[in-house]
A and B are shown apart, each in its own frame.
Chain A
Amino acid sequence: MKRLKKYINQNEWYLMGIILIYSIIVTTQNSGFFTLENFFDVLKGSSGMIILAMGILVVLLSGGIDLSFTAIAMFGGYSAARLMMATKIDNLAFAFVVSAVIGILLGAVNALIIHKFHLPTMIATLGTSSLFSGIMTTFIGTKTITVGMMPKSLRAFGGFRLFEMVNDAGSTYGLTVFIIPVVIVVVVTWFILYKTMLGRGVIALGNSEEAAKRSGFNLFWIRMFIYTYVGLLAGIMGVIYVAEVNSVYAVALYGTELTYIAAVVIGGAKLTGGEGKILGTLLGVIIVRLLNSTLVFLGLTSSWNGFFTGAVLLFSVGLTSYMSRLRSRRNLTFTD
């Protein structure tokens, strides 16, 4: 128990409790929820979100906010698909490399603007978000890529399962191959944040820029790392997104940034920087995902959607925040 405590904080216990209770309620309403098939389906649907959330966590830890990652993801995914169609190179690795390189370059633009002009990260990335998507729609195109035009390797990747099963009704399901990039990204993010000086630097920057500077961190390179890393993850996510739905609208993800940021914040990351954990972030993604996708199971009609999601979200965030305040007061700290 003591050792567990080291890895799981109070806030994360509450989140797990909420997820558990919520899952039980849904299961009592509909037994289709608690099945392996549903687990695999939800896992596949959350893959892209988990990858992006890892990047957002790094940005939030550094005290910044990035609003351009969806634009970068679409830029990467869409351009990769278009380039594959134009050059006839039907290769998955090629897609990932193209998208990742685009992501890293655009991330570097963010980092340069933020560092050189000392702009608030939110303003800078709000600007670059429009800029990136504008560059894409103007110079690369906006034509929808539909299922028939989609490169074969991307389609195969989207539908590939590591193993397959058949349910009673005769339909097949299985564990998506997306789990491989997801696990790699989570482990790498964990390693960088907690096992390297770079990760220490990110957190130090989020706690106090001045202190980080005085303790000898090179803020330029730390910012460069943060925003190119988010860019890289956005690039990877872009390819996964394209492969998953088998068609690309050039503007598909644009405008959904806040949902992703909300998931990370629910997971316990502070918008003011310096605080946030990987486990919490994963739990935050699960909560957002559960809320958005269990209405069907609960038999609620579509008109309930917004009301229900908002209410449960506020409740869970409010509870965790209230509990942590109680705890702080017991410890006689009054910082938040």
Chain B
Amino acid sequence: MKRLLVVVSVLIIAFSTLGFAPASAVASAPAAPAQADKKYEIVMVAKMEGVSWFDDMRVGVEQFGKDYNVNAYQIAPDTGDPAKQAQMVEDLIAKGVDAILVVPNDPKSMEPVLKKAKEKGIVVVTHEAQALAPIVDYDLEAFKNEDFGVVMGKALAEAMGGEGKYTGFVGALTMETHMQWFNAMQEYLKKEYPKMEFVSKQPYEDNNDEKAAYAKVQEILKTYPDLKGMFGNSASSTTMEGLVMKEKNNKNIKVVGLSLPSMAGEYIKDGFIQQAQCWRPADAGYVSALIALNILKGEKITDGMDLKKPGYEKVILDKKIIYGNAPLILTKDTVDKYDF
């Protein structure tokens, strides 16, 4: 009995520490192709399973596989756990795939394992991780973050009529991209719209948690009764701003920010969110895979080259970072066109 007990507890602990990363990796990977046809194997390691953003990215990656006749697929950890994600990359290295595409949860912790992949001669392309550019083949960005911040700022100013108090969210003050958008937006608004006033010293944080965002938006409304505008640099916060405005039936406060058609579409159509911005994850996945395939075939990536997707027709190459110009603006009229 005692031995059984020990065995069971060891098993349970093993299960809980391992989580289910290996299991889900196996589950989401399609059956390995026969060794005979030497198709390139290009694998996208996304941040996590179960979010519509990466579901759409999977569409792009798989479409690429069909278009170019390569074995392209996407895997991701169940949760946004950087350690699990690094483990998945490790597994891919062991498996000996041709190219790894990564959207890292935490670029820093991904560094050693990506170095290892490079040493083994695997092509590595990252997305949303400029800091990793020096050690990988290329990093792909949908746009320059500063430009995207300005797009947001402009939308907010136009919705608010260029004056009044506003505040908003980032995912967390430590999230580099969110802060780059925020800072660029602030700089733009200060210069172009001096009558607009940012009421809090820092943006609020939602830590990508809808419930937290929901509660904070409600408090902000009570704290600043004369607020005229709100932005969201995280999809959760923009969407929850829309939900709170809808529940309180408040159209005086203009909401603008990062979100997805499936998350914000309804609030945009009802007029509780004026405009949302994003980029197409499917395209980012597709273009990342294309970059990897080009490298595998020995072709060069050059400044101004056409990477075949809207907004990536004339990319900017800055050292090892490839910038597209592909912000996607969602308004009442355009939001229904997309399915992610």
How would residues 224 to 263 of chain A score, 1 for a CB under 8 Å from any chain B CB and 0 otherwise? Answer: 0000000000000000010011110111101100000000
Per the bound structure, the CA–CA distance linking A119 and B2 in Å amounts to 11
Contacts of B8 in A (CB 8 A): 117, 119
Q: Are A148 and B266 in contact (CB under 8 A)?
A: yes
CA distance A149 to B49 in the complex (A): 18
Pairwise interchain contact A144-B248, C-beta atoms closer than 8 A: no
| Candidates A123, A133, A168, A247; contact of B13 at CB < 8 Å | A123
Is B51 part of the contact surface with A, judged by Cβ < 8 Å?
yes
- Contact A302 to B205, CB < 8 A, known contacts A142-B50, A148-B265, A247-B210: yes
B223 touches A143 (CB 8 A): no
Inside 8 A of B209's CB, which chain A residues have their CB? Answer: 252
- B13, B200, B222 interface centre (most CB from chain A within 10 Å): B222
| CB atoms of A249 and B51 under 8 A apart | yes
Assess the B23–A134 pair: CB atoms within 8 A: yes
A45 within 8 A of B: yes
A130 to B21, CA, bound (A): 11
Q: How many whole Å from B20's CB to the nearest CB in chain A?
A: 4
| Given the contacts A129-B16, A131-B15, A250-B50, A305 and B220 also touching, CB distance less than 8 Å | no
Q: Does A14 contact B (CB under 8 A)?
A: no
> Of B20, B48, B200, which is in contact with the most chain A CB atoms at under 10 Å from its CB?
B20
* Interface set, chain A 274-313, CB cutoff 8 A to B: 292-294, 296-297, 299, 301-303, 305
Which residue among A117, A142, A169 has the maximum number of chain B CB atoms within 10 Å of its CB? A142
Q: Are B12 and A244 in contact (CB under 8 A)?
A: no
- A297 and B223 contact, CB distance less than 8 A: yes
In the complex the two chains form, is B243's CB within 8 Å of A245's CB? Answer: yes
- Asked if A119 contacts B9 (CB within 8 A), the reply is yes
Residue B201 at the chain A interface, CB threshold 8 Å: yes
B193-207: which residues lie under 8 A (CB-CB) from chain A?
200-205
Distance to closest chain A CB from B140 (angstroms)? 24
Q: Which of B12, B203, B212 has the most CB of A within 10 A?
A: B12
The residue among A126, A138, A296 with the most chain B CB atoms within 10 A of its own CB is A296
* Inter-subunit contact B50/A144 (CB<8 Å): yes
B181 CB → nearest A CB, Å: 16
| Residues of chain A with a CB closer than 8 A to B11's CB | 127
Partner pick for B16 among A130, A143, A296, CB 8 A cutoff: A130
B20 and A138 form a contact (CB under 8 A): yes
Query: Would A38 and B78 be within 8 Å (CB), given that A123-B13, A144-B52 are in contact?
Result: no
Name the residue of chain B whose CB is nearest to the CB of A29.
Answer: B223
Given contacts A32-B225, A146-B263, contact A169 B211 (CB under 8 A): no
Complex CA distance for A170 and B245, rounded to whole angstroms: 12
- Flag if B19 contacts A119 (CB, 8 Å): no
Write out, one digit per residue, whether chain B residues 7-33 have a CB within 8 A of any chain A CB (1) or not (0). 011011101100110011001000000
B318 CB within 8 Å of chain A: no
Q: Does B5 contact A (CB under 8 A)?
A: yes
Tell me which residues across on chain B come within 8 A of A252, comparing CB atoms: 209-211
CA A149 to CA B265, docked complex, whole Å: 11
Assembly CA distance A130 to B19 (angstroms)? 6
A245 to chain B: closest residue by CB: B210
**Which of B78, B200, B215 makes the CB contact (< 8 A) with A142?**
B78
> How many angstroms from the CA of A159 to the CA of B223 in the assembled complex?
22
Which of A35, A123, A168, A255 has the largest count of B CB atoms less than 10 A from its CB?
A: A123
At the interface, yes or no: B239 with Cβ under 8 Å from chain A? yes
Distance in angstroms between the alpha carbons of A303 and B205 in the assembled complex: 9
Question: Does B247 count as interface, using CB distance less than 8 angstroms?
Answer: yes
Number of A-B contacts (CB under 8 A): 162
Q: Across the two chains, which residue of chain A brings its CB closest to B80?
A: A251
For residue B249, which residues in chain A have a CB less than 8 angstroms away from its CB? 170-172
**Cβ-defined contact, A45 with B214, below 8 A:** yes
Q: Is B118 an interface residue (CB 8 A)?
A: no
Q: State whether B214 touches A171 (Cβ < 8 A).
A: no
Name the B residues within 8 Å of A251 (CB-CB): 48-50, 78-79
Minimal Cβ-Cβ distance residue in A for B170: A302
Contact between A137 and B210, CB atoms less than 8 A apart: no
The reply to whether B204 and A171 contact each other, CB–CB distance below 8 Å, is: no
Is A147 engaged at the interface, CB distance under 8 Å to the other chain? yes
Instruction: Assess the B52–A146 pair: CB atoms within 8 A.
Output: yes
- Interface status of A30 (Cβ within 8 A of chain B): yes
- Residues in A with CB closer than 8 Å to B202 are 301-303
With A170-B252, A251-B79: A143-B220 Cβ-Cβ less than 8 Å: no
Is the C-beta of A118 less than 8 angstroms from some C-beta in chain B?
A: yes
What are 24 inter-chain pairs, A to B, with CB distance below 8 A?
A30-B223, A45-B215, A119-B9, A126-B12, A138-B20, A142-B50, A143-B50, A144-B50, A144-B51, A147-B263, A147-B265, A149-B262, A159-B247, A170-B252, A171-B221, A241-B211, A244-B211, A245-B214, A245-B243, A247-B263, A250-B49, A293-B215, A294-B219, A302-B202
Known contacts A137-B24, A148-B265, A297-B223; 20 additional CB pairs below 8 A are A33-B222, A129-B16, A130-B20, A131-B16, A138-B23, A142-B49, A142-B50, A144-B262, A146-B263, A147-B267, A168-B225, A247-B210, A247-B263, A249-B50, A250-B50, A252-B210, A292-B212, A292-B215, A293-B215, A296-B216
What residues make up the interface of B, taking CB atoms closer than 8 Å to A? 4-5, 8-9, 11-13, 15-16, 19-20, 23-24, 27, 48-52, 55, 78-79, 173, 200-205, 209-212, 214-216, 218-223, 225, 239-240, 243, 247-250, 252, 260, 262-263, 265-267
Which 9 pairs from chain A and chain B are nearest by CB?
A142-B50, A127-B12, A32-B222, A134-B20, A171-B248, A250-B50, A296-B219, A142-B49, A146-B262
